[in-house]
Amino acid sequence: MHLDRIIRGATVVTGDDARIQDIGIADGRIAALGISLSAEGAEIIDAKGLIAMPGGIDSHVHISQPSGPDVEMADDFDSATRAAAFGGNTTVMPFCLPVGDATLREAVADYVGKARGKCHLDVAIHLIVHRTDPVTLGQDLPALHAAGFTSFKIFMTYADMALSDRQILEVLKVAKDLGAAVMVHAENEDAIEYLRDEAERAGRAGPAMHARTRPVPVEREATHRALSLAQIAGVPLTIVHVSNGEALDEIRRARQRGQIVHAETCPQYLTLTADDLDRAGFEGAKFVCSPPPRDRAAQAECWAGIEQGDFDLFSSDHCPFRFADAAGKDRPGARASFRNIPNGIPAIETRLPILFSEGVVKGRISLSRFAAITATNHARLYGLAPRKGMIAVGSDADIVLWNPELTRTISQSDLHHGADYTPWEGFEVTGWPVASFLRGEFLLHENSLAEYCGGVIACGQPDQRAWQ
Ligand code: URP
Ligand code: ZN
Ligand code: ZN
C-alpha cells in the first residue's frame, strides 16, 4: 500500500473507540488504521503518548462580520484561522451577513473574496437570513443552497436582524423545501428592549446591566417559541449558544414531542458568570456577549447537558472585538450605556483546550464524546461528513495531536487572535494541541503554522437526524 505518512502509536479517537494504533495517510486522506502500519518511503511521525483527535470543527464563529458603521471585528480570515489552528481546529464555519442593500448572493461573493488566499485551515460558510423579501427567499437561498451554502442562521434579537414569528416561519418553509439546516439565536428582543429602557431610566448603565436585561426567561421563552415554530413548520432546528438549564429543558421537551432538535453550548457558559460583567470599571465589557454568562447553577446545568448527551455541539461563538479600541468594546457611547457595547467575545483558540481540560481531564466526558461534540457532530449536521470530522478510512486526514499532560496558563500574550484580551486570562488548562494535519499535510508543527493552506469548501446536504 502506498502511504505518504504514518502517525505512529497515538491513542486514536474514532467514533465510540479510543485505542493505540497507527494512522496511514495517502493523498490527503486517511488510507489505513491499524497496528504496525508500514509502507516504503512513508514519513513516520512518532506520536506515542499523544492523542489523535479529529481536527476540531468550530461551526459557530464570526469573522470579518459587518458590525455597524463605527465598529470593526477584531479578526479577519487570516488572524481568525491562524488562532483557530493553534487551538486545535482544522475547519471553521463563519457567517455571511449582507450589508445595506446587498443581496445575499452579492454578500457571499464578497465574503468568499475576503477569505480567498487568507485561510490557514478549511472554511465553510453559513448564511445569515435577516430579511424575507422575495429575492432572498425565492432566488438567493435556493441558488446558494445549490452551490453548497446549506445552513442558515436566524435571529430573534438584535433590532437590525431579528425576524418576526411570521418571518421565521417563512424562512423555515424555504429551509424545509431545500433541506437546509437552520440555527436560531433565541432571545426575546421586545423583552430585552423593555428591560434596557427601564435600566437606563433608572440610571443603571454599566456592563453588568447587559446580563441583567437579558435574564434567563428572555432566552427560555424565545427557545420555546422557536421550537414551537419549528414544530408548526415541521422542520429540524438547532438552538445555538444555550446558556442555561431552563432553555435546555425546552429542548428536552421538544425532543420528547418527537421533534429533531440540535443543541449547542459554548465555553463561556461553562466557565464564566454574570459576575464577570460586574468587574471594576469598564472591565466587565470584556465579557459582554449574548446570551450572557449566567451563574454557577446554570454552569452546572450546562455541564449536565454535556455529560448526559443533551448537547450535540460545543462551539466557541467567537465574536472578537478589541477592548481598548474606539472601534471595539470602547466605542463611543459604550461607557454611557451597556446597550452600545458590541456583543461578543474571542474564544476560537481556547474553546478546545478548555473543554479538554475541564471535560476530559476532569473525568466529565470521554475522549469519544469530546470528539463528537467538537468535530463529528458539526460535520454531520452541516453536511461536511464523512469527509470531515472523523478519523476514518476515506476521510480527509484532518487530525490533531494532543498532549494530554501539558499544563498551560491561558494568556493573551500567547494567543493569535486579533483581540487584545482573552476572557480566560490566567485560566489553567491541562491538555494542549501540539501538532495537526490538514488534508494530510502538517498544519501545526513545532509551534509554527503552515501558511494559507486552507480554503473555502462547500457543504453537502446536512444530516439532520438526531444522533447521540
Ligand atoms: O454576543 C454574541 N454572541 N455575539 C455574536 C453574535 C451572535 O449572537 O451569535
Ligand atoms: Zn447568536
Ligand atoms: Zn454567534
pLDDT tens, position by position, 231-264: 999 999 999 999 999 999 999 999 999 999 999 9
Cβ atoms of 352 and 87 closer than 8 Å: yes
Contacts of 33 (CB under 8 A, 6+ apart): 12, 14, 21, 22, 23, 24, 391, 392, 393
pLDDT computed for residue 399 by the predictor: 98
Contacts of 190 (CB under 8 A, 6+ apart): none
Instruction: For residues 50 and 73, give the distance between their C-alpha atoms in angstroms, rounded to a whole number.
Output: 35
Query: How many CA atoms within 13 Å lie on the side-chain side of 16?
Result: 2
b/e code 432-456 from CB counts within 10 Å (16+ = b): bbbbbbbbbebbbeeeebbebbbeb
362-408 pLDDT tens trace:
999 999 999 999 999 999 999 999 999 999 999 999 999 999 999 99
400-459 pLDDT tens trace:
999 999 999 999 999 999 999 999 999 999 999 999 999 999 999 998 999 889 999 999
Q: For residue 60, report the distance from its CA to the centre of ligand 1, in Å.
A: 9
Paired strand residues for 153: 128, 183
- Its pTM stands at 0.98
SS3 175: helix
* CA dihedral sign, ordered 345, 350, 356, 357: negative
Q: Is the CB of 429 under 6 A from ligand 1?
A: no
pLDDT computed for residue 452 by the predictor: 81
324-336 pLDDT tens trace:
999 999 999 999 9
Paired strand residues for 244: none
Q: Using alpha carbons, select from 52, 44, 35 the residue that is nearest to residue 3.
A: 44
Cβ atoms of 458 and 307 closer than 8 Å: no
Among all bound ligands, the one having the nearest atom to the CA of 183 is: 2
Q: Tell me, what amino acid is at 346?
A: P
pLDDT average, residue stretch 290-307? 98
Helices (H), 320-443: 351-355, 367-371, 377-381
Instruction: For residues 98 and 106, give the distance between their C-alpha atoms in angstroms, rounded to a whole number.
Output: 8
For the cut 90, the answer to whether the pLDDT of residue 73 exceeds it is yes
Apex CA 92: angle with CA 88 and CA 97, to 5°? 150
Q: Is the CB of 290 under 6 A from ligand 1?
A: yes
Cβ atoms of 370 and 355 closer than 8 Å: yes
- The domain locations on the chain are 5-53+391-449, 55-370
Residue with cell 465598529: 71
Angle in degrees, 0-180, between the axes of helices 245-256 and 216-233, rounded to the nearest 10: 20
Residue with cell 443603571: 204
Q: Is the CB of 317 under 6 A from ligand 1?
A: yes
pLDDT average, residue stretch 194-205? 98
Position in ligand 1 atom list of the atom nearest CA 343:
1
Paired strand residues for 56: 89
Write phi, then psi, for 262 (nearest 5 degrees): -110, 150
The CATH number of 55-370, from 3.40.50.2300, 3.40.640.10, 3.40.50.1820, 3.20.20.140, is: 3.20.20.140
Instruction: For residues 182 and 156, give the distance between their C-alpha atoms in angstroms, rounded to a whole number.
Output: 13
Q: Is the CB of 423 under 6 A from ligand 1?
A: no
Among all bound ligands, the one having the nearest atom to the CA of 289 is: 1
| Three cell numbers, residue 301 | 446545568
What superfamily does domain 5-53+391-449 belong to in CATH? Urease, subunit C, domain 1 (2.30.40.10)
Q: For residue 440, report the distance from its CA to the centre of ligand 1, in Å.
A: 33
For the cut 80, the answer to whether the pLDDT of residue 343 exceeds it is yes
- pLDDT band per the 50, 70, 90 thresholds, residue 468: low
Among all bound ligands, the one having the nearest atom to the CA of 315 is: 3
Average of per-residue pLDDT values in the chain: 97
